[in-house]
Amino acid sequence: MNIIQVCPYDLSIPGGVQTHVKQLSNELVSKNNKVVVFAPSPSKPENEKRISCEVKHITSSTRIPWWGTSIDVSVLKPNEKRTIRQFFDEFKPDVIHFHTIWNPVMQTQLLWMLPNSIKKVGTFHDTPPDRGLGKHIGANLMKVGAKYYLPKMDEIISVSETQTKAMGADPKNLPKNFRILPNGIDTETVRKMEKTSAPDDEFRIIFVGRFENRKGVFELLEIYRRLQNEPLAIKISLKLVGNGPQLSAMKSFVNEHGLKKVSFYNNASDHAKNRLLLESDLMIAPALYGESFGIVLLEAMALGVRVTGYGNEGYLTIGKKYGEENFPPPGNTDELYKLVKHHIEMPAKAKNNLIEKGLEIAAQHDWKLITREIEKIYAQ
C-alpha cells in the first residue's frame, strides 16, 4: 500500500504527535508498505526524528503559544501546492493519513487538493483545556471543527474516549467509520535496553515533557523542594527532560531555593530519553489539563519505571488500569506530594507489583498490535 502520513508539527521538536507519526511509519515500512511523511521544515535539522522512510518537508512553520502549550502554523504557498500535486501523480497514494487535521492550515489545504481516488484517514490526538477560558472556547471550537472535518474523512481514529467526547461524539454509539484506538509504544526497542546498576542510596525522580504551565512543572518543583526539607531515609535527585518557555524560570527557581541534585536535559534524543528513564525510580507526570491519552506514562512503564501524576481525564485512560490511587485530582499538590513520599518509602514487594503491572499495560499498547489495527482500517 502507498501511504502518506501528514504531521503538522516540526519533527525536530519533541511531542506526542511527532512520536506517533514516527513509530507508526516505521512499523508500516517494516510491513512492506511504501510510506512518505509530509511535515514542515525542521527548525533544528540536527534534532529531527529519524524515520525509516522518506520525509518531505512540504512547507515552513511558525510556532505560536496556544492555551498553555504551543502549535505549529503552516501555510502552503502556490509553488508548494504545484510540487505536491506532481508528487501525488508520481507516488499514487492509496491512503493519506492526517494527524490533528485542524491544526492550521496546511492539512486543510491538502484536503482540498486531494484527488477523489485517495482515501482519507484522520487521527485526532488533542483535547481542549478543562479549566479557565479555554474550557469554554476550546471545547466549542473543537466540536465545530469536528462537524466540518469528520464528514470529510473515510475513516476516523480517536486516541481515547476523552478525546472522542471532546469532539462531541458518544464513545458508546460511534459511527461505523469511527474507532477509538490508543497510542502505541515501541516496546521492542526498549526491551533491548539493559538497565545499568545504580547506587541504592538514591531515589531518582524524572519528569519528561514540555516546560510549560499545562504540564505542571512548577508544581513538581515545589513538591521536590518540600521533599528536600524532609528527613528522608534516602537521598533524592530530579531529572527534567524536555524544553519549553519556562526553562529559564525553572532554573531560577532551582537556584533561588537551593535545590540539590537537579539536572536539566534540554535536547535529549529518544534513545537518551529512554536511557534516562531506565535509570530512574519514579516518573512524575503532573499535567494539569489538555491531555488526551498519556503516552509518556506508557513509555515509562515499558522501561520498568513506576509512575504517578495528576489524574486529568486523559491520563486516567491509563491510570484506571494502573491504579487511580496513583493519580490525585489536578492541582492537589499536597496529595501528589504524599504520593511521591509514599513511593520513596514503598516496600520492595509493592514496588515490584507496580512495575509488573506497568509492564503488562505497556505490552498491550505495542506498536505491532496497534499497526495491525490501523492496516485493517486502511483496508476498509
pLDDT band at 131 (very low <50, low <70, confident <90, very high): low
Q: What is the CATH number of the domain that holds 217?
A: 3.40.50.2000
- Band the pLDDT of 36: cuts 50, 70, 90: very high
Counting every residue, how long is the chain? 380
> Is residue 125 domain-shared with residue 243, that is, in the same domain?
no
pLDDT score for 67? 65
Together in a domain, 211 and 287: yes
Question: What per-residue confidence (pLDDT) applies to 137?
Answer: 72
How much is the pLDDT for 195? 67
Q: How far apart are alpha carbons 75 and 99 in whole angstroms?
A: 16
Residue 68 is predicted with a pLDDT of: 63
Q: Are residues 231 and 131 both part of a single domain?
A: no
Closest CA to 287 of 305, 309, 265: 309
Give residue 84's pLDDT band: very low, low, confident or very high (50, 70, 90): very high
- Domain shared by 167 and 279, yes or no: no
Q: Is residue 55 located within the same domain as residue 156?
A: yes
Same domain, 118 and 41: yes
Q: Is 197 exposed, middle or buried (0-12, 13-18, 19+ CB in 10 A)?
A: exposed
| Percentage of the chain exceeding pLDDT 90 | 82
Same domain, 211 and 166: no
Q: How confident is the model at residue 189 (pLDDT cuts 50, 70, 90)?
A: confident
Going by pLDDT thresholds of 50, 70 and 90, the confidence category of residue 16 is: confident
Same-domain status, 324 and 222: yes
Instruction: Note the pLDDT of residue 117.
Output: 92
135 and 163 co-located in one domain: yes
pLDDT score recorded for residue 135? 67
pLDDT, tens only, 314-364: 999 999 999 999 999 999 999 999 999 999 999 999 999 999 999 999 999
Residues 226-273: tens digit of each pLDDT: 999 999 989 999 999 999 999 999 999 999 999 999 999 998 988 899
Locate cell 486531494: which residue?
A: 114
Which structural domain range is residue 314 located in?
A: 189-363
| Closest C-alpha among 122, 156, 127, 167 to residue 4 | 122
Write a three-state SS string for 169-196.
Answer: CCCCCCCCCEEECCCCECHHHHHCCCCC
Q: Write down the pLDDT at residue 240.
A: 98
Alpha helices (H) along the chain: 16-30, 78-91, 106-113, 132-149, 161-166, 187-191, 217-228, 247-256, 270-278, 295-302, 316-322, 333-344, 348-363, 367-378
Q: Are residues 22 and 116 in the same domain?
A: yes
Say yes or no to pLDDT of 124 above 90: yes
Q: What is the pLDDT of residue 140?
A: 85
User: Which pLDDT score, from 0 to 100, does residue 199 have?
Assistant: 63
pLDDT per residue over 265-308, tens digit each? 998 988 899 999 999 999 999 999 889 899 999 999 999 999 99
Distance from C-alpha of 51 to C-alpha of 116, rounded to nearest angstrom: 28
Q: Are 371 and 27 in contact (CB under 8 A)?
A: yes
Residues 209 and 307 in one domain: yes
| C-beta atoms surrounding 55 within 10 Å | 21
What confidence score (pLDDT) does residue 89 get?
96
pLDDT at 134: 63
Closest Cα to residue 242, out of 197, 180, 198, 284?
A: 284
Q: What pLDDT is stored for residue 77 in this prediction? A: 97
pLDDT band at 14 (very low <50, low <70, confident <90, very high): confident
Please provide the average confidence, as pLDDT, over all residues in the chain.
Answer: 93
CA distance linking residue 191 with residue 141, whole number of Å: 41
The structural domain count of the chain equals 2
Which grid coordinates belong to 300?
A: 515509562
Confidence of residue 71 (pLDDT cuts 50, 70, 90): confident
Report the C-alpha gap between 111 and 149 in whole angstroms: 10
Q: Is there a single domain that holds both residue 19 and residue 45? A: yes
| Structure-model confidence comparison of residues 129 and 171, the more confident one | 171
**How far is CA 304 from each of CA 109, 204, 281, 353, rounded to the nearest angstrom?**
43, 13, 9, 11
